[in-house]
Structure 1
Amino acid sequence: MDITPQAVVIPKETDHLEQGKYGPVFPRTPACYGFTIIADVKPGRAEAIRNHGHTLAKALEGDPHLLAPLKLHYLRWVLFDDDTRFMYQGIFDTDFDKYTEDAVALFSRAGVSTAFENLEGFPEDWKTNPDAFIRFVREHHCPSFIEYGEYPYVTADEIKKALRIKSSLSEMLDQLQ
């Protein structure tokens, strides 16, 4: 496995990209897949977004594998411009179509709301209308134009496996001393 750091420039024009169910399938990059959403916060709803962050963190304390079906590497939520705008960044191992379908299914099944409900234009029927959810995400997606990976094209599962092996090896070496 080559672990030489790599970068990929993502084209501005997407007409030539394979079209998935919900639009262009952006290429897998050294950072895997992901997207960034920037949207306006409904007036007075920034604190609800922050509270939702606490709710999600608490849910993950209760079930650390709650978001496992999404094959996530990282999520980042940012409120900016005096709490009037919200940025969501997610890096994951599946393409856009699969990630968004899995997210709608996961949150609907778990009966969990989303911080996105506090954003202007987010569809109220998102749990029963995944197409509206996906349309919102696509309309607010700000594609990156370059992505870099220090350990390129490595999945979250591969990283976790390597860390388990490292831990087991360290434990074995400690026992030999």
Structure 2
Amino acid sequence: MDITPEAVVIPKETGHLEQGRYGPVFPRTPACHGFTIVAGVKPGRAAAIRDHGHALAKALEDDPYLLAPLKLHYLRWVLFDDDTRFMYQGIFDTDFDKYTEDAIALFSRAGVNTAFENLEGFPEDWRTNPEAFVRFVREHQCPSFVEYGEYPYVTADEIKKALRIKNALSEMLDQLQ
């Protein structure tokens, strides 16, 4: 299997895209699926967002597979403009509709709040109203216009499998020495 780096330009207009349960289904790119949102932070809530980051890191120490249902590659949270704005970037393997439904189910089942609750305009009923959650994300989404993948279209599970094979092969070769 030849793995050649690849970039894809994402269309600005979405009217021609297939419609999912929650709006246009953006094409899978070499970086898989994902979205970026930028939203205002409720006054005085930047510390709560940072605390939520610490709580999430601790929860992942306790259960490294907590977020596994989301099929994530990466998450990035950024507070900027003197902690008045928040940027969330997520890259994952599923489409937006499935990611959204899985995230709501995961956080509801785990009894975990979301950092988004500290953002202006985030719906209080997000756990029971996926449409409101999606509306918030779509209203604050900053779609990328090009995405690049050094190892295009490779899923997180495929990467983990390749790393397990690499580690097993290294261990075997070490034992032969």
TM-score (norm. length: structure 2): 0.99
Matches within 5 A, 1:114-133: 114-133=114-133
Which residue number in structure 2 is paired with residue 42 of structure 1? 42
Q: Secondary structure at the match of 2:52?
A: helix
Which residue number in structure 2 is paired with residue 139 of structure 1? 139
Deviates more, 1:159-168 or 1:127-136: 127-136
In the alignment, the residues of structure 2 paired with residue 121 and residue 10 of structure 1 have an alpha-carbon distance, to the nearest angstrom, of 27
In the alignment, the residues of structure 2 paired with residue 57 and residue 163 of structure 1 have an alpha-carbon distance, to the nearest angstrom, of 23
In the alignment, the residues of structure 2 paired with residue 11 and residue 127 of structure 1 have an alpha-carbon distance, to the nearest angstrom, of 31
Which residue number in structure 2 is paired with residue 99 of structure 1? 99
| 1:58 partner letter | K
Q: Alignment length, in residue pairs?
A: 177
1:83-141 CA-partner distances (Å, limit 9, x unpaired):
00000000000000000010000000110000000000000111111111111111111
Matches within 5 A, 1:1-177: 1-177=1-177
Q: What stretches of structure 1 of length at least 5 have no aligned partner?
A: none
Q: Secondary structure at the match of 2:121?
A: coil
Q: What stretches of structure 2 of length at least 5 have no aligned partner?
A: none
Q: CA deviation at 1:5?
A: 0.2
TM-score (norm. length: structure 1): 0.99
Q: CA RMSD in A?
A: 0.5
Q: Secondary structure at the match of 2:78?
A: strand
In the alignment, the residues of structure 1 paired with residue 171 and residue 57 of structure 2 have an alpha-carbon distance, to the nearest angstrom, of 30
% identity of equivalent residues:
89
| 2:118 partner letter | N
Q: CA deviation at 1:34?
A: 0.2
